[in-house]
Structure 1
């Protein structure tokens, strides 16, 4: 299903930031940046005023009948202790049955659980609520601490900024790396965080920029064809390999190997979209060394071969 129509479903108690994530990601006109315009609407169980968790309200024009035409339904964070409004669970199940994709942000996952749509699926939510999610829906396979989980038709994400990561993931799946990067640039967020990264760092990052790994991360992205093993990067950072690996995980939420691999896959996506270079050439250019290694990592991360990705997204 090509993503063309998106609905955000809200009711009293909705969290404003997570609602804003859906509006920012899917509701803006970015055609001047080469991003397809989506038909975006906000829906509620009943049209009219909807109260946010912070005390203000918005007026929602559409009822749940608008969900019937949506390719993607987004559910922002809601109050977990309240039962679903009448008809919401049935509407979500009906949308799922006809093939619509469902995305939850933070505690929006509990609405999917109440609708019985998480049974047997890997899923996540904000790290503070993962134990509760697992207890309330024992048939769900809750993955704690990750940014988001893509279980195919259902995508669940952690709190706040992790919702942006999940929306960019969906843009990338539907329209490719170039479009996802354009959306990310307009939102002024990095496009490269994979779902498996940790939701939070192990300790606070020092405030002084010189003491962080930000300059090294920028250098890595510009030098993906170079040897980027832990030993090499540790020497460049004037640290022991053990200290460097620990510091890298603390600052990025990922191991050096997984972070570098994700950057190489992202760069390979861009080259597959924008050039007609061979897979072998691209593999060497992004640091995988040979086409077989690129195919292996690409298939693991994206679920399809480089050739299939090029056929789908090439300019």
Structure 2
């Protein structure tokens, strides 16, 4: 079982703290066993979290046994971080532990020196403060989360949910992540490259809102869709559709369709014995060759490699539970 420690620092944001507890804590493997053991640690037995005071069950020494450490944001992200917490994070990083942050928790990782020279994100409203305070960090304020391997940073509020679901997908594959998204009542298809939703000022605000079209695409993405088909469903011109998609998602409509198709292909690779060519057809690609190119581009590996990897992990988890 994967052990996760959530680091509760003074003045922690309760929502950020609760997000990994709820999302990861509800993950179940195919045999019904939990995918994660989620615990909370801190620098003191109690911690203030806005209007709440929380009891903390573990001290910082517990981080030595963590597979992943998640750092929530604090209401004042620029306030000094306890030295003991910074030392514990550095020690965990040196041991190879995966460390993630939610919202302005990125400031804590940056204060520990873990993000120097790395690309990272945070809540868009705090991005300039992060850049000014830590010039060695390559701040990208436009995405939901950034995964650089050992270190993962996310934007504000619900982007923390997206990041947690991304971690589930990394650890256990798309099928388990899809079930976790249903438990969290969250959309699984928001990947890290999607733009943070920032409402623009003025009269254009009333124009925004592609939710119904995105839901329609989730069902119909596997059909022979053209850009004109999507525009007709949205009741927009192709030009307006492209503009609106870029404003709200940071990508084109057909890039979104491709991402939905690849996510479904991952589930089929994990859960069926269908050949790669058949899966390419089932998820809507005109040719297996194009499917393989797009799968490798979005997943980083070939379809057959993906299948072998997650079937091996499923067998290992089953053997461990038995």
Q: TM-score, normalised by structure 2?
A: 0.88
State yes or no: 1:9 paired with 2:7. Answer: yes
Describe the shift of the 1:296–1:174 C-alpha distance in structure 2 as closer, same or farther (beyond 3 A).
same
| Change in CA separation of 1:119 and 1:40 when aligned onto 2, cut-off 3 Å | same
| SS of structure 1 residue aligned to 2:69 | strand
Is the CA contact (8 Å cut-off) linking 1:105 and 1:158 kept in structure 2? Answer: yes
Cα shift readout 1:123-178 (whole Å, capped 9, x = no counterpart):
10000111121222222111112000000000000000000000000100110111
**CA distance in structure 2 between the aligned counterparts of 1:35 and 1:254, rounded to whole angstroms:** 37
Paired with 1:205 and 1:136, the residues of 2 have a C-alpha distance of 32
| 2:213 aligned residue | 216
* Comparing 147-156 and 284-293, the one that deviates more: 284-293
- 2:295 is the alignment partner of 1:280: no
Q: Say yes or no: does 1:45 pair with 2:69.
A: no
Whether the 8 Å contact between 1:298 and 1:305 is mirrored in structure 2 is yes
* Partner residue in 2 for 1:265: 262
User: Is structure 2 residue 297 aligned with structure 1 residue 300?
Assistant: yes
The answer to whether the 8 A contact 1:205-1:251 is kept is: no
More off after superposition, 26-35 vs 135-144: 26-35
Unpaired segments of 5 or more residues in structure 2? 315-322
Q: Check whether the contact 2:26–2:34 (CA below 8 A) recurs between aligned residues.
A: no
SS in 2 for 1:87: helix
Q: Is the 2:227–2:253 contact (alpha carbons within 8 Å) kept by the matching residues of 1? A: yes
Q: Show the counterpart of 1:120.
A: 117
Give the equivalent residue in structure 1 for 2:23.
25
Equivalent position SS for 2:83? coil
- Establish whether residue 60 from structure 1 lines up as the match of residue 56 from structure 2: yes
1:197 aligns with 194
Name which of 171, 174, 186 aligns with 2:183. 186
Query: 2:139 is matched with which residue?
Result: 142
Q: 1:241 to 1:13 in 2, by over 3 A?
A: same
User: Does structure 1 retain, via aligned residues, the 8 Å contact 2:26–2:180?
Assistant: no
Cα deviation for residue 70 of structure 1 reads: 0.3
Aligned residues: 308
How far 1:33 sits from its partner (Å)? 8.6
CA distance in 1, matches of 2:167, 2:280: 24
**Residue 202 (structure 1) shift:** 4.9
Separation (CA, whole Å) in 1 of partners of 2:238 and 2:114: 44
Structure-2 change in CA distance of 1:34 and 1:229 (3 Å): farther
Residue 133 of structure 1 corresponds to 130
Separation of aligned partners in 1, 2:175 and 2:27? 16
Cα 1:257–1:157 shift into 2, 3 Å = same
- Go from structure 1 to structure 2 and tell me whether the alpha carbon gap of 1:59 and 1:212 turns closer, same or farther (over 3 Å shift): closer
Counterpart secondary structure, 2:40: strand
* Native 8 Å contact 1:146 1:197 kept in 2: yes
Q: Unaligned 5+ residue runs, structure 1? A: none
Matched residue, 1:96: 93
Q: Report the CA distance between 1:238 and its aligned residue.
A: 3.4
Change (3 A) 1:138 1:26: same
- The equivalent position to 1:176 in structure 2, one of 173, 176, 182, is 173
1:71 — aligned with what? 67
Q: Distance in 2 between matches of 1:244 and 1:158?
A: 26
Distance 1:55 1:293 in 2: 53
Query: Could you tell me whether the CA contact under 8 Å between 1:80 and 1:110 is conserved in 2?
Result: yes
C-alpha deviation, 1:93, in angstroms: 1.2
- Conserved in 1, the CA contact under 8 Å of 2:68 and 2:97? yes
Once the two structures are superposed, residues 107-128 of structure 1 have per-residue CA deviations (whole angstroms, 9 ceiling, x without a partner) of 1001110111101211100001
- Taking structure 1 as the reference length, the TM-score comes to 0.90
Mark the CA change 1:161 to 1:141 in structure 2 (over 3 Å): closer, same or farther.
same
